[in-house]
């Protein structure tokens, strides 16, 4: 049913392997992790946990972070934000003042990040979130907060561009988004891109979360848009696809976002998931090359598959990449565990200077502008589910398979 036990066992095994290193009385970097381990966002929070765990596992398997010849293992201390900003802020305070962590790996959601960021700024503890990416975070220009995933308004336009290259050229689009921060931002990013591309937007609707969208989709069907774009969360993705199937309407293209790259989605919708497009900034087959921890995306996906039975999606990857960013910055300044305020300020500076190729792609944080401290090094990708696998279909430089357009009717699958 669930791979939680397997994962825990593997983690224990990995830690046992790393144990002798601890026995050697070496200091280790104490890293606080704030994420949603309970509450509404537990699904996403656990994805981030996998990403952070996998990074720590891999680093410790190699002995730890190599600082000027000495290897320091990493120790993750988790605190649950309970999908609630107040708990997130309390978690930050606890990790900083009681656990005395060196730095922090951040939450899944933007809401919690927005409550935590002022706290880490106050105590001057650097934080990288491997998941939260709302433009609202970066606009506030928090000095000590960074993010490895670019905001959706940075990546959204790509898929519209890719779809416009299909033949026959799509002329119309319907855009629907769930009324939560991320999904709404996704819908608005698609809207902006559609307007710029002079696509006819037949409908733009934001709907309450978790509701049955059948009536709306019936209305959309009557307008016969070529593309239907949807932003939502995992439960809504499943319902959306089922609703389209039930009313018997197959658009020429169905565009969602990165949520479709999670294996759980294809498990839930089966064949109906085929040919759905998504926007992401990383897949397990991306042609990345790196000298740090995992030589390429495939190696990471394999490691994740082995540890969790899941090759990992872009959120999980972003979290592991966050760990790598810290790794690189720490090595640059020669930091040791138990950093003082001055050292941590140096760490922030080092993070701003990070420009490294990882399994995830290029990690480079912007130091000015509306994407302040967000990762602008990645190139957005358009993906499509083909026979249950995620294939990159755009932009041209990263194509792995030709996009299948238009979609095959539900009935004939």
Partner 1 sequence: MNALNSRTGLLALLAVALLVVPAVVSDTFVLRVMTEAIMWVGLAIAFDVIAGYTGYLNFGHGAFFGIGAYTIGILMMRAELPFWVALPAGGLAAGITALIAGIPTLRLKGAYFAIATWALSRAIQQLALNMEMTGGPDGMRLTAFLNPQFFYYLMLITVGGTFVILWYLLERAPFGLKLKAIREDEEGAKALGLNPTKLKMQAFILSALPTGILGGIYAYWITFIDPSSTLGDMVSDQAVVMVVFGGMGTLFGPAIGALLIFAFKTLFWAYLSDFQLLYLIILGALIAISVIFIPNGLWGTIMRRKKADKIRPERVIEAGVPQEEGN
Partner 2 sequence: MELLPQALADGVMLGGIYITIAIAFSLTYGVMHVIDFAVGEWIMFGAFTGYYLNKWTGLDPFLFLPVIFVAYFGVGYLIQPVIHRVLSGTKGNPFLMGLVFTFGLAIMFKGLALTVFGYYSNSIPSMFSEGAFNFDVFGAAVTIPTVRLVGLAYALAITAVLHYMLKKTNFGLGVRALAQHKDAAGLMGVNSRRTGSYVYGIYVGISAMTGVLLGCILSIGAQMGNEYTIFAFFVVVLAGMGYLAGVPWAALLLGLVQSIFMIYFNPSHTLLAVFVILYLILLISPRGLFGKGV
Report which of 7, 95, 91, 101 is spatially closest to residue 47, judged by C-alpha positions.
7
Q: Which is nearer to partner 2, 26 or 214 (CB)?
A: 214
Footprint on residues 161-180 left by partner 2 (CB under 8 A): 179
Q: Note whether 369 binds partner 2 by CB under 8 A.
A: no
Task: Report how far residue 240's alpha carbon sits from residue 335's, in angstroms, rounded to the nearest whole number.
Answer: 49
Q: Three-state SS for 64?
A: coil
**Stretch of 177-185, 322-330, 351-359, 367-375 lying at the interface with partner 1 (CB under 8 A):** 177-185
328 binding partner (options partner 2, partner 1, none; Cβ < 5 to 8 Å by kind): none
Site string for partner 1, 87-106 (x = CB under 8 A): x-xx--xx-xxx--------
Cα dihedral 265, 269, 273, 276 in deg (nearest 10): -60
DSSP assignment letter at 100: -
216 binding partner (options partner 1, partner 2, none; Cβ < 5 to 8 Å by kind): partner 2
Q: Note whether 201 binds partner 2 by CB under 8 A.
A: no
Q: Which is nearer to partner 2, 224 or 287 (CB)?
A: 224
**In this structure, what token pair is assigned to residue 22?**
């601890």
Task: Report how far residue 251's alpha carbon sits from residue 410's, in angstroms, rounded to the nearest whole number.
Answer: 10
Task: Report how far residue 374's alpha carbon sits from residue 138's, in angstroms, rounded to the nearest whole number.
Answer: 7
193 binding partner (options partner 2, partner 1, none; Cβ < 5 to 8 Å by kind): none
What value does the CA radius of gyration of the chain take, rounded to a whole number of Å?
A: 21
Q: Note whether 85 binds partner 1 by CB under 8 A.
A: yes
Q: Note whether 267 binds partner 2 by CB under 8 A.
A: yes
Q: Degrees (nearest 5) of the Cα angle 320, 326, 327?
A: 85
Q: Note whether 68 binds partner 2 by CB under 8 A.
A: no
**Stretch of 123-131, 242-250, 277-285, 347-355 lying at the interface with partner 2 (CB under 8 A):** 242-250
Give every strand in the sheet of 389-394, ordered side by side: 200-207, 172-178, 227-231, 253-255, 276-280, 381-386, 389-394
Q: Using CA of residue 307, residue 309, residue 311, residue 315, what is the dihedral sign?
A: negative
Interface residue with partner 2 among 76, 81, 117, 238 (CB under 8 A) is 238
256 binding partner (options partner 2, partner 1, none; Cβ < 5 to 8 Å by kind): none
Q: Give the phi and the psi of residue 355 in degrees, each rounded to 5.
A: -150, 90
Q: Which is nearer to partner 2, 155 or 183 (CB)?
A: 183
Site string for partner 1, 194-213 (x = CB under 8 A): --------------x-----
Task: Report how far residue 164's alpha carbon sits from residue 365's, in angstroms, rounded to the nearest whole number.
Answer: 30
Interface residue with partner 1 among 47, 101, 104, 119 (CB under 8 A) is 119
Residues of this chain that interact with partner 1 (CB under 8 A) are 37-38, 40, 78-80, 82, 84-87, 89-90, 93-94, 96-98, 110-111, 114-115, 118-119, 121-122, 134, 136, 140, 179-181, 184-185, 208
């Amino acid at each position: 049913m669930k791979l939680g036990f397997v994962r825990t066992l593997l983690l224990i095994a990995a830690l046992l392997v790393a144990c002798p290193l601890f026995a050697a009385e070496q200091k280790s970097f104490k890293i606080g992790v704030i994420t949603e381990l309970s509450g509404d966002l537990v699904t996403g929070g656990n994805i981030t946990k996998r990403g952070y765990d996998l990074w720590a596992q891999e680093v410790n398997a190699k002995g730890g972070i190599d600082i000027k010849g000495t290897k320091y293992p990493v120790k993750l201390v988790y605190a649950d934000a309970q999908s609630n900003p107040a708990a997130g802020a309390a978690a930050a305070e606890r990790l900083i003042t009681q656990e005395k962590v060196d730095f922090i790996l951040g939450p899944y959601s933007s809401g919690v990040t927005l409550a935590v960021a002022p706290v880490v700024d106050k105590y001057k503890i650097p934080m990288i979130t491997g998941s939260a990416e709302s433009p609202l975070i970066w606009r506030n220009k928090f000095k000590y907060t960074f993010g490895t995933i670019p905001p959706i308004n940075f990546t959204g336009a790509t898929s519209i561009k890719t779809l416009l290259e299909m033949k026959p050229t799509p002329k119309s689009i319907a855009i629907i988004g769930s009324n939560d921060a991320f999904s709404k931002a996704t819908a608005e990013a698609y809207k902006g891109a559609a307007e710029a591309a002079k696509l006819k937007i037949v409908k733009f609707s934001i709907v309450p979360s978790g509701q049955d969208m059948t009536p709306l989709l019936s209305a959309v069907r009557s307008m016969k848009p070529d593309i239907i774009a949807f932003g939502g969360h995992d439960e809504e993705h499943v319902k959306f696809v089922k609703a389209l199937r039930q009313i018997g309407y197959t658009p020429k293209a169905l565009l969602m976002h990165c949520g479709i790259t999670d294996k759980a989605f294809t498990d839930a919708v089966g064949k109906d998931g085929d040919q759905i497009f998504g926007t992401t900034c990383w897949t397990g087959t991306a042609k990345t090359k790196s000298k740090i921890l995992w030589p390429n995306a495939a190696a990471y996906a394999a490691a994740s598959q082995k540890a969790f039975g899941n090759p990992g999606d872009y959120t999980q990857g972003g979290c592991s990449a966050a760990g790598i960013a810290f790794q690189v910055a720490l090595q640059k300044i020669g930091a040791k565990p138990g950093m003082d305020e001055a050292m941590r300020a140096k760490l922030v500076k080092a993070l701003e200077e990070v420009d490294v190729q990882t399994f995830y792609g290029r990690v480079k944080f912007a130091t000015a502008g509306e994407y302040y401290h967000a990762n602008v090094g990645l190139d957005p990708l358009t993906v499509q589910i083909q026979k249950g696998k995620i294939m990159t279909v755009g932009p041209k430089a990263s194509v792995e398979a030709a996009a299948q357009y238009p979609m095959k009717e539900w009935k004939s699958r």
